[in-house]
């Protein structure tokens, strides 16, 4: 993934391809993508996409495998910590006081098969300077999704339920009054990353099977129930489900897009190649607005001023990914361009300086302007 720091600074985080591997960080030219500096072989662990952030104190924080690192902007290593579980820690959130919260990945990794259920997830609060663990909290369910945070509230999409914990500066405290069961349909599987918007948590279900990625998600889903856009009210705990396409065999590994001002949420089914938008309201109402065939699997980006959404389409015949721009209100295709990646992106595009988007896949990083 690519992130911005100071004006003109773009940092790229990636990893190697072995099952147990290390990671690297580069500073790249914002336009040409030429490598300007690089640090390699940062300790990692079991492979799963981690994360990088530019901290308010000026440092870079990297999580990958079972390690977390603190770097200077010149890519000098300042601190490294090994985390307690021999699992990947899939990224982190930064709280208002600067502390970091991370957790272990509770799903199947590539090459693994379903067996004994993993233990419940453990959240760690880390000091942003020393990276030492200063607090922890255990939940009863494993969690596959990345964490979401709103102020000092941290939300965890568990295997079956949505949890909320609050940071008080000393302890990370689970909210016993907010444990919302979202898996209510036979054949439905776990949710992925949650978007916090409009008083609700929004995510997609049927995330089981992401470990079957074969350069594309199209056709690899094994879930029996149709895939849904899930809304959980943060005050009421009410759950609303909206079917993306009504088909079995769906799979996803990323979040939906929510435009609160226009009252539109967009979800997708990467296994069946369908993208669907819904009209939404503050009461939990959800009605289908438009639907198109599109092989999308990564995060999406919203241009709120112009009502445009940036997504991807993977041509799994010609093996080329495209950046696709749509009108979020109508679904109209406003333009598309090849990204240069033969692999479908299942990770994170980023907003660059000016009208620039960085698209990342496991093979390619592209800079695209509009």
The maximal CA–CA distance of the chain, rounded, in angstroms, is 53
Q: What is the pLDDT of residues 30-57, one digit of tens each?
A: 999 999 999 999 999 999 999 999 999 9
- Indicate the pLDDT class of residue 110, thresholds 50, 70 and 90: confident
* 238 in Cβ contact with 284 (< 8 Å): yes
Dist. CA 348–CA 346, nearest whole Å = 7
- C-alpha distances out from residue 154 to 58, 200, 325, Å: 23, 13, 32
Whether 114 has a pLDDT exceeding 80, the answer reads no
pLDDT in tens, 51-106: 999 999 999 999 999 999 999 999 999 999 999 999 999 989 999 999 999 999 99
The average pLDDT across 250-254 equals 97
**Is the per-residue pLDDT at 122 higher than 90?**
yes
Tell me the pLDDT of the chain averaged across its residues.
96
Which sign does the torsion angle of CA 141, 143, 148, 151 carry?
Answer: positive
Q: Residue 211 in 3-state DSSP?
A: helix
State pLDDT tens for residues 333-358. Answer: 999 999 999 999 999 999 999 889 99
- pLDDT tens, position by position, 155-177: 999 999 999 999 999 999 999 99
Q: Which tokens hold the place of 199? A: 């008083």
The pLDDT assigned to 59 comes to 98
Lookup: tokens for 36: 């300007």
Cα distance between the two ends of the chain: 20
For 82-128, give the DSSP string. E-SSSS-EEEEEE-TTS-EEEEE--SPPTT----SPPPPPEEEEE-T
CATH architecture of 188-370: 7 Propeller (2.130)
pLDDT at 118: 83
pLDDT recorded at residue 248: 97
Proportion of the chain above pLDDT 90, given as a percent: 91
What is the rounded CA–CA span in Å between residue 142 and residue 160? 9
Rounded distance between C-alpha atoms, residue 113 and residue 172, angstroms: 33
Q: CA–CA distance from 243 to each of 211, 231, 277, 283 (Å)?
A: 23, 12, 10, 18
Per-residue pLDDT, averaged over 1-25, amounts to 93
Residue 162 DSSP class: E
Q: What is the pTM of this model?
A: 0.96
Does residue 196 surpass a pLDDT of 90?
Answer: yes
Q: Is the torsion defined by CA of 294, 4, 9, 73 positive or negative?
A: negative
pLDDT attached to residue 370: 77
Nearest to 180 by CA among 152, 198, 155, 149: 155
Residue 154 pLDDT greater than 80, yes or no: yes
- Residue 346: predicted pLDDT: 96
The answer to whether the beta carbons of residues 257 and 275 sit under 8 Å apart is no
Domain residue spans in the chain?
A: 188-370
């Amino acid at each position: 993934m690519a992130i911005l720091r100071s004006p003109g600074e773009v940092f790229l985080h990636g990893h190697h391809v072995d099952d147990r591997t290390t990671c690297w960080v580069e500073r790249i030219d914002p336009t040409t993508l030429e490598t300007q500096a690089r640090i390699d072989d940062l300790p990692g662990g079991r492979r799963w996409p981690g994360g990088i952030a530019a901290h308010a104190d000026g440092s870079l924080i990297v999580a990958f495998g079972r390690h977390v690192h603190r770097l200077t902007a010149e890519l000098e290593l300042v601190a490294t910590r090994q985390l307690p579980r021999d699992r990947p820690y899939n990224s982190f959130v930064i709280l208002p006081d600067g502390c970091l919260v991370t957790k272990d990945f509770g799903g199947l990794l590539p090459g693994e098969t379903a067996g004994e259920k993993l233990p419940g997830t453990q959240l760690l609060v880390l000091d942003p300077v020393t990276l030492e663990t200063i607090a922890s909290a255990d939940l009863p369910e494993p969690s596959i999704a990345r964490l979401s945070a709103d102020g000092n509230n941290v939300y965890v999409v568990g295997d079956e339920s949505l949890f909320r914990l609050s940071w008080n500066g000393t302890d990370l405290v689970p909210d016993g009054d907010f444990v919302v069961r979202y898996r209510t349909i036979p054949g439905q599987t776990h949710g992925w990353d949650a978007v916090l918007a409009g008083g609700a948590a929004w995510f997609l279900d049927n995330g089981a099977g992401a470990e079957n990625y074969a350069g594309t998600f199209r056709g690899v889903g094994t879930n029996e129930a149709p895939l849904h856009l899930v809304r959980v009210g943060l005050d009421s705990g009410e759950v609303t489900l909206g079917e993306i396409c009504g088909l079995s065999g769906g799979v996803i590994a990323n979040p939906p897009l929510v435009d609160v001002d226009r009252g539109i949420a967009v979800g997708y089914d990467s296994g069946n190649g369908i993208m669907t938008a819904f009209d939404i309201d503050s009461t939990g109402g959800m009605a289908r607005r438009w639907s198109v065939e599109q092989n999308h699997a990564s995060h999406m980006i919203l241009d709120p001023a112009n009502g445009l959404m940036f997504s991807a389409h993977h041509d799994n015949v010609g093996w080329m990914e495209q950046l696709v721009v749509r009108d979020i209100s109508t679904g109209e295709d406003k333009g598309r361009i090849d990204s240069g990646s033969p692999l479908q992106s299942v990770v994170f595009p980023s907003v660059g300086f000016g009208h620039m988007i960085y698209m990342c896949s496991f093979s390619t990083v592209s800079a695209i302007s509009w």
